[in-house]
Amino acid sequence: MSSYKICGGRALKGESFCQGSKTSSLPILAACILCDRTVELDNIPDITDVDATVKILTWLGCRITRSGRHMTVDASGVHTGEIPDDLMREMRSSVIFLGAVLARTGRALISAPGGCEIGLRPIDLHLNAISKLGAQIENSAGKIECTAPEGLKGASVTLSFPSVGATENVMIAAVLAQGETVIRNAAREPEISDLADFLNAMGAKVSGAGESTVRIEGVKRLHAAAHTVIPDRIAGATLLAAGAITGGSVRVRGLIPAHLEPVIDILEQAGSEIEIRSDSVLLRAPQRLRCVKTVRTMPYPGFPTDIQPPVTAMLCVSRGTSVVIETIFESRYKYVGELVRFGAKIRVDGRMAVVEGADRLYAANTVTPDLRGGAALVLAALAAEGESTVNDIRHIDRGYEDFSRTLAALNADVRRTEE
Ligand code: UD1
């Protein structure tokens, strides 16, 4: 089991370059299957969720070369639509392969993803939408089989919730379908626009991405393309929150600041000074943070659920009481029990967490419950007096590229240990 040993109490300072987006990279890699020519991708982060995605692509018949953050995907050899259970389990979001595999091979056979650390995460919206495009769906004995031997047909799809994954799955499935697909109540996250830009670079006809209605005019074939993935707004926001909780001064470069607006608003409310340049954000934290108005997670452009845990950790050392409401995932407070070990004063009641700022946090020995909850524990450890241990950091490796090195370069005293 890998762990971080963190000696807290040092203000973070300096500059960091933001990694590429995990949430963009995974559907973009899946969408490579649609094209039988070589695709060049840049800014793909070196994280274990990407490794799991590469394993699935390779199993399906893709040839992949990777050099740093550059990746070449040749999907000309895709020969199956079946993804084995063990590969599906390695990554919850592997359901994103459904639309791509179905569109390419006419059949997709995957195991039904179970619940995960942050909630039940059903895929009913994905399946309803894919069936609208004409796929037959058999769902039995933990397996989901989708078939469309004659190909998919464009359709009108209205999502009952603007699910990021379902929007991406339908967009990908519809690219090679006959006729036009219209997705209403689509997710508007920046990663949706990034996926559309990539699909269009391959010759797809997607319009309206980033708005509530997305239109996809089916095309017969896609061609070779190159694309650079957008910066990871969640990883960037995590570093800014780390600067804030330690009373530090941190500039994150390589960002698209507009993507962080709701987070920047909360960081400012908490007393940090923010300086925005075209592709960087500088945060200067005060000696003591203050409480904020309610933090309510919402679909984009609202406050992102993925940054809720790190920001809740930050509020633990503010002056006064803040309220956090999680509206997206039902089990996203598992890390709170671990934060309390640092002396944080938090009460959770259903979807609401009431955070009473403490004067200081103390070193603790903790276990990471999930990816973003793990980041929250690291932030608490950076602020706590003494040496803390954050155990089982494989969750953190899923989404943060070399997190300990990034933090150490910002003056943190953090060591990774492998057992
Ligand atoms: C993606 C991101 C995740 C982020 C989330 C919301 C990846 C790998 N993950 O997850 O980090 O937190 O967007 O910004 O990109 N739902 C259903 N039925 C469905 C699909 C979703 O009920 O078929 C529910 C989910 O359980 C959840 C809510 O809708 O409560 C939002 O989920 P969704 O937007 O689909 O998130 P993901 O795409 O899974």
Q: Give the number of other Cβ atoms within 10 Å of residue 132's Cβ.
A: 20
Burial (Cβ within 10 Å: 0-12, 13-18, ≥19) of residue 359? exposed
Tell me the per-residue pLDDT of 89-140, one tens digit each, with 9 for 90 and over: 888 778 999 999 999 999 999 987 766 777 778 899 999 999 999 999 998 8
pLDDT of residue 115: 62
What is the share, in percent, of the chain residues with pLDDT greater than 70? 100
Instruction: Return the best residue to mutate from 116, 118, 121, 127 for the ligand 1 pocket (most ligand atoms within 8 A of CB).
Output: 121
Q: Give the number of other Cβ atoms within 10 Å of residue 242's Cβ.
A: 29
Q: How many CA atoms lie less than 13 Å away from 359 in the CB half-sphere? A: 0
The 3-state DSSP class for residue 57 equals helix
Tell me the per-residue pLDDT of 49-73, one tens digit each, with 9 for 90 and over: 999 999 999 999 999 999 999 999 9
**Whole-number average pLDDT of the chain:** 96
pTM, whole model, 2 decimals?
A: 0.97
pLDDT of residue 113: 74
- Is the distance from CB of 63 to CB of 33 less than 8 angstroms? no
Measured in whole angstroms, the distance separating CA 367 from the mean position of its chain's CA atoms is 21
| Ligand 1: centre distance to CA 419 (Å) | 33
| Ligand 1: centre distance to CA 187 (Å) | 10
- Is the distance from CB of 333 to CB of 326 less than 8 angstroms? yes
| Ligand 1: centre distance to CA 95 (Å) | 11
The 3-state DSSP class for residue 399 equals coil
Instruction: Return the best residue to mutate from 161, 307, 326 for the ligand 1 pocket (most ligand atoms within 8 A of CB).
Output: 161
pLDDT of residue 146: 96
Residue whose CA is closest, atom 33 of ligand 1? 163
Model confidence at 398: pLDDT above 90:
yes
Confidence band for 29, pLDDT divided at 50, 70 and 90: very high
Name the catalytic one among 35, 116, 146, 316: 116
Q: Which residues of 298-326 are buried (b: 16+ CB within 10 A; e: fewer)?
A: ebbeebbbbbbbbbbbbbbbbeeebebeb
Give the pLDDT mean for 174-180: 98
Give the pLDDT mean for 353-377: 97
Q: Please identify, by atom number, the ligand 1 atom nearest to the C-alpha of residue 329.
A: 30
Residues with a CB atom less than 6 Å from ligand 1: 23, 26, 93, 119-126, 161, 163-166, 187, 305-306, 328-329
- Is the distance from CB of 289 to CB of 271 less than 8 angstroms? yes
Tell me the per-residue pLDDT of 258-297, one tens digit each, with 9 for 90 and over: 999 999 999 999 999 999 999 999 999 999 999 999 999 9
Rounded CA-CA distance 95/101 in Å is: 10
User: Domains in the chain, start-ordered, CATH in brackets?
Assistant: 2-19+231-418 (3.65.10.10), 22-228 (3.65.10.10)
Token output for 396 = 């953190």
- Is the distance from CB of 28 to CB of 227 less than 8 angstroms? yes
Residue whose CA is closest, atom 22 of ligand 1? 122
- Is the distance from CB of 169 to CB of 97 less than 8 angstroms? no
Rounded CA-CA distance 13/58 in Å is: 41
